[in-house]
């Protein structure tokens, strides 16, 4: 009910042309309700000022994070991106959840890339590193900027490795997703041993993605022509079972292992993976490929 009242007040305020200033808010709650009212009315520009006031008036970390999340929508509409950048950086620096940090990073990079301003972020974080300012944040941002937007695997690896050193020194550590991304960049750079070892390390950091990372480790060992290590990684992946986060991931998990097993001349072991992959996809092209591979595996297994 209080948010509905705030929305009505916001609409009336807009229609009357009135303007409320930070000095008029008595506390965080009053400023937040005013900002929420404007946002509920779809007036993000008007919501900016009371939300900024709420941030200044709050002494709660949870409230401050809540406000910054709301301000993302307001700052997205500004002609210059500085406040949008700072808002997203605040969320990355202050969130306790690695998934939130990762999603926020990707959102910021995509926003800047789509507006042709990715170079602005690159310069910002390179300068930070040069000035020894917010180094963890800067390496964190640049590792993905170079990995997915500038397409420079060597620089992505460099910044990911620097991030690993800094997080270790500060008592933290890299997440499974970050280590797996490092593995992907090693793979792109044809550093197959480093890639395989990174994927195996990532597998030990998060049981939810362990099976997927063992699968990728096996692929890297095969590129290095080390079938025994590839077999060991495949066995680990099979013991853990398929990645079930989505049908598409389950399909890729089974299909990738089947491809590796066929390469290892183990068609009998490949057959159940191909059969399972077929059950998980409705995409015509994928089905045709699986059916052809399954027929080949069955023929070889005779």
**227-241 per-position pLDDT tens digit:** 999 999 999 999 999
- Asked whether residue 224 is assigned to any structural domain, the reply reads yes
User: Which residue has better confidence, 116 or 18?
Assistant: 116
Q: Where are the alpha helices (DSSP H) in 17-152?
A: 28-40, 44-57, 61-75, 82-94, 98-114, 118-130, 135-144
User: What is the per-residue DSSP string for 190-201?
Assistant: T-HHHHHHHHHH
Q: Structural domain tally of the chain? A: 1
- Asked whether residue 255 is assigned to any structural domain, the reply reads yes
- Asked whether residue 14 is assigned to any structural domain, the reply reads no
CATH at 263: 1.25.40.10
- Asked whether residue 262 is assigned to any structural domain, the reply reads yes
**77-102 per-position pLDDT tens digit:** 999 999 999 999 999 999 888 778 88
Handedness of CA 172, 175, 181, 186 (dihedral sign): positive
pLDDT score at 102: 84
- Asked whether residue 160 is assigned to any structural domain, the reply reads no
Q: 225: domain range?
A: 201-301
pLDDT score at 23: 55
- Quote the CA–CA distance of 199 and 217 in Å, as a whole number: 5
- Asked whether residue 223 is assigned to any structural domain, the reply reads yes
Range scoring the smallest mean pLDDT among 23-27, 178-182, 199-203, 232-236 = 23-27
- Quote the CA–CA distance of 30 and 36 in Å, as a whole number: 10
**pTM (two decimals):** 0.69
Q: Residue 96's CB: how many other CB atoms inside 10 A?
A: 8
- Asked whether residue 254 is assigned to any structural domain, the reply reads yes
Q: Is 245 left (phi over 0), alpha (psi -120 to 50) or beta?
A: alpha
**152-168 per-position pLDDT tens digit:** 888 988 998 888 888 76
- Quote the CA–CA distance of 55 and 71 in Å, as a whole number: 10
What confidence tier does 177 reach under pLDDT thresholds 50, 70, 90? confident
Q: What is the DSSP letter of 122?
A: H
- Asked whether residue 98 is assigned to any structural domain, the reply reads no
């Amino acid at each position: 009910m209080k948010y509905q009242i705030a929305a009505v007040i916001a609409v009336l305020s807009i229609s009357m042309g009135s303007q409320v200033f930070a000095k008029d808010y008595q506390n965080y709650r009053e400023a937040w309700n005013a900002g929420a009212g404007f946002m509920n009315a779809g007036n993000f520009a008007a919501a900016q000022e009371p939300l900024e006031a709420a941030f200044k008036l709050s002494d709660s970390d949870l409230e401050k994070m809540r406000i910054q999340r709301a301000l993302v929508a307001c700052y997205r509409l500004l002609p210059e991106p500085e406040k949008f950048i700072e808002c997203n950086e605040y969320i990355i620096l202050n969130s306790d959840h690695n998934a939130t940090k990762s999603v926020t990073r990707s959102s910021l990079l995509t926003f800047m890339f789509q507006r042709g301003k990715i170079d602005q972020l690159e310069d910002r974080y390179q300068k930070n590193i040069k000035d020894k300012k917010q180094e963890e944040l800067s390496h964190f941002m640049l590792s993905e900027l170079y990995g997915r937007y500038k397409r420079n695997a060597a620089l992505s690896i460099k910044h990911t490795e620097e991030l690993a050193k800094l997080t270790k020194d500060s008592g933290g550590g890299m997440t499974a997703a970050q280590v797996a991304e490092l593995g992907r960049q090693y793979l792109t750079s044809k550093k197959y041993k480093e890639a395989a070892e990174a994927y195996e390390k990532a597998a030990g950091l998060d049981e939810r993605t362990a099976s997927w990372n063992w699968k990728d480790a096996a692929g890297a060992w095969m590129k290095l022509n080390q079938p025994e290590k590839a077999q060991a990684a495949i066995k680990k992946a099979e013991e853990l079972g398929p990645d079930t986060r989505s049908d598409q991931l389950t399909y890729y998990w089974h299909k990738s292992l089947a491809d590796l097993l066929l390469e290892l001349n183990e068609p009998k072991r490949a057959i159940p993976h191909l059969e399972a992959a077929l059950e998980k996809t409705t995409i015509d092209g994928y089905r045709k490929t699986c059916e052809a591979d399954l027929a080949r595996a069955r023929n070889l297994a005779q």
